[in-house]
Amino acid sequence: MRSAFIQSRLLLSRGAINAVSLRIEDKPAMFSMRRNGMADGGEAANRQEFFASLGFDESSVVRGEQVHGDTISLADSAITFSGTDGLLTRQRNLLLTISVADCVPVLIFDSRQKIAAAVHSGWKGTTKNIVGKTADFLLHELNSQPEDVVAFIGPSAGECCYEVGEDVARKFDDAYKSGTSKQGKYKLDLKHAIESQLSEKGIPSDNIEISDHCTICDPRFHSYRRDGDASGRMLAAIAIK
């Protein structure tokens, strides 16, 4: 039977429950996790199946109302935070979730103190350094040590396919964009831009895993760039055992 998700081996090796759901054609709504999806409740059933496969249910799920910002919230119970793109918890049995369909899901874990974080970082969030700010929260507010922190930069729009205009490209260092593919268009490498934000906080390179999956060209993933308004959503999730 085909798995409904992929996982970070690095996070698993440090004891963090984690997963990013897949787009599966023989499941309702292609296993979409978009909240406002099928009227018959198919997408709600998809979420329930995904949570159950990780040992959780809806009563344990933490969500953020994602607004492409840099607000970070610390959860001690199952809740939906308004205007939030970064979630952290020290509590066991809470599942932090991020909804994506090309933006970058970043799952972070302090393996010594047992602190989990889930971050939604599209191009706007990346320019606002939300991942770096989450690392700062861990290091300076929760007293994490860089060598104890591991991170998974998950499946998202890859440099192979992620084309942006000059207005977006100019917000990024030249190291994270390739030459024009069309007049005034650039290919953007958000994953390595985010990696640098973590590295700048002292997190060792061996503690950072970068997915090589591009959601635009890999049909196993939902992609807004590829499918437009018909696109579903994946969930990225992390929890403390």
Q: How far is CA 42 from CA 25, 100, 166, 167, 220, in A?
A: 13, 18, 40, 39, 19
Tokens of 122: 């599209």
Strand residues in 27-77 grouped as ranges (E): 61-64, 72-75
- Tens-digit pLDDT profile for residues 79-122: 999 999 999 999 999 999 999 999 999 999 999 999 999 999 99
Sole residue written with tokens 């709504």: 29
- Say what the pLDDT of residue 2 is: 67
Contacts of 140 (CB under 8 A, 6+ apart): none
Contact of 190 with 198, CB cutoff 8 Å: no
Question: Could you give the CA distance from residue 151 to residue 203 in angstroms, rounded to a whole number?
Answer: 9
Identify the band that residue 37 occupies on the pLDDT scale cut at 50, 70 and 90: very low
Domain 5-157+205-240 = CATH 3.90.110.10 = no
- Tens-digit pLDDT profile for residues 56-88: 999 999 999 999 999 999 999 999 999 999 999
Contact of 9 with 29, CB cutoff 8 Å: no
Q: Where are the domains of the chain?
A: 5-157+205-240
